[in-house]
Amino acid sequence: MNYIKDLPETDNPMVFGLNPNADLTRSLNHSKKLISTLIDTQPTDSAAAGGKSPEQMVKDMIENDFMKMVPEEFDMNYANGQLDKMRHKRLEGSGKTIPLVMFLFQEIQRFQTIIKIVSSWFKNCVLAIDGQIIMSPELAECIKVINNLQVPKPFMYDPSGAEISWLNPSLGGWLGSMVDRHYQLNVWLTCKDGWTSRPPSFWLTGFFNPTGFLTSVRQEISRSNQKNNWALDAVLQTN
């Protein structure tokens, strides 16, 4: 009997003490490297699409499509006024003394930062293509990435490499998610006056800090049942 033929072509990750999902991760990494190599080997000096250069096509996409998808910045004076009005039926006080109101304020602040980052990079890319500012290596890389309809790194990570927003493989999908996230925050902020001033449902993964949302809910429940000696740790949390 030829035992060699009975051996698998690839070793099971569990042989090396790894999770079975390691095979999936390896395949995804190989696919990403293959796609990246194909994109990098494409000609960049082609004047296709009516004789337009890649830089001119990027400029047209930014001005005609992408910039129109970027939401307007929140008016923080209006936002703070709305937040101050928000109350809870069973809690004393109003505004940022209410846990979920403070959570909404923090989410708006973080989203405001992302809007400024995206708008700034788009505008600088257009200015660099027009020759009005210096074409830095960072801007050149950003233009290249946008031409491939991928998400520029500054949109998702800060200079230290820490994640600052949501991840998406395509620029269109990333901007679409941005529009949806802004819509959720704006609907919550502009809710009609009521005892909660909140939407009937929430898109949990559309928050920067979904764990913070759940913690704020637990805080409100424990505070509203303070007379019954409810502790924060005693409030059920689903992981």
Phi first, then psi, for residue 19 (nearest 5°) are -70, 145
Complete DSSP assignment for 161-197? S-B-S---SSHHHHHHHHHHHHHHHHHHHTPPS-SS-
Q: Please report the pLDDT score of residue 51 as a whole number.
A: 66
Residue 181: Cβ-neighbour burial (10 angstroms; 0-12, 13-18, 19+): buried
Q: Is the pTM of this model over 0.75?
A: yes
Q: Which residue type occupies 189? A: L
Which among 7, 4, 142, 181 has a CA at the least distance from the CA of 61? 142
What residues does each domain of the chain span? 52-234
Q: Please report the pLDDT score of residue 221 as a whole number.
A: 82
- Residue 5: other Cβ atoms inside 10 A: 6
> Using one digit for the tens of pLDDT, what is the confidence trace for 154-179?
999 999 999 999 999 899 999 999 99
Residues of the chain scoring pLDDT < 70: 1-9, 15, 32, 35-51, 193-196, 225-239
- Reading phi first (left if > 0) and then psi (alpha if -120 to 50, else beta), residue 103 is in alpha
Q: How far apart are CA 64 and CA 81, in angstroms?
A: 34
Q: Which residue type occupies 59? A: K
Q: Please report the pLDDT score of residue 215 as a whole number.
A: 92
Q: Please report the pLDDT score of residue 239 as a whole number.
A: 44
Q: Please report the pLDDT score of residue 38 as a whole number.
A: 65
Q: How far apart are CA 139 and CA 120, in angstroms?
A: 11
> Using one digit for the tens of pLDDT, what is the confidence trace for 140-155?
999 999 999 999 999 9
Helix axes 99-130, 54-61, angle to 10 degrees: 140
Does residue 204 contact residue 210 with C-beta atoms inside 8 Å? yes
Q: How far apart are CA 190 and CA 109, in angstroms?
A: 16
Q: For 37-41, which contacts have Cβ atoms below 8 Å and span 24 or more sequence positions?
A: 39/148
20 DSSP assignment: T
CA angle 134, 174, 113 (to 5 degrees): 60
